[in-house]
Amino acid sequence: MFFVIALILILFIWLKEHYSYWERRNVPFEKPTYFLGNMRGIGREYHWKDINQRIYKTFKNTTPVAGFYTFLTRAAFILDLDLIKQIMIKDFQSFSARNLFHNERDDPLTGNLLFLDGEPWRVLRHKVSPVFTTGKMKYMFPTVVQVGEKLPVACEKLIEDCDGILEAKDLCARYTTDVIGT
């Protein structure tokens, strides 16, 4: 019995120390819940984007960086655009790990710039950067809008033809083909 109480006490002390990381560094943070961090209600009540939006609204225009916890993992929420630019460009080597799941073999859609880390990210970014110059984006924008305006009609037609089941992969492939081919 003593061992169990001691173990619970040690766990509690460790959690208290762990969840005071941002406070010890004088970084504004959202108060976490033990074991859940700031992810209370994720999957049941909230989506990941709702939690991000809540943190953003809480700290925007007050601080360049806010701390939060994804369960037991601490993370920084960067709010200052100049700091984001510095991290993504100048300090890339120190911040290249996004800790997002990607398995290109089983799920090829995860092999994109949003999910990749480190060197694979850098190689892919180097390949696609010429496509996204300001001039090319301005040139492509009207086409993207034009094809996007036709998308709801195509969705409705697909839903009617498929008894209410929409194959998103096929739809996205057709949308991309229309944008590129137009």
Report pLDDT digits (tens) over 130-158.
Answer: 888 888 888 888 988 988 898 888 888 87
Give the pLDDT confidence score for residue 100 in this predicted structure. Answer: 67
Specify the pTM: 0.57
> For 4-18, what is the mean pLDDT?
90
More confidently predicted of 180 and 77: 77
- pLDDT per position as a tens digit, 66-117: 999 888 888 889 999 999 888 888 887 777 666 666 667 777 777 777 777 7
Would you state the pLDDT for residue 89? 81
Q: For the chain, what percent of residues have pLDDT higher than 90?
A: 14
DSSP labels, the chain? -HHHHHHHHHHHHHHHHHTTHHHHTT--BPPPBTTTBT-TTBTTTB-HHHHHHHHHHHHTTT-SEEEEEETTEEEEEE--HHHHHIIIIITGGGS--------TTT-GGG-STTT--HHHHHHHHHHHGGGG-HHHHHHHHHHHHHHHHHHHHHHHHHHHHTTT---HHHHHHHHHHHHHH-
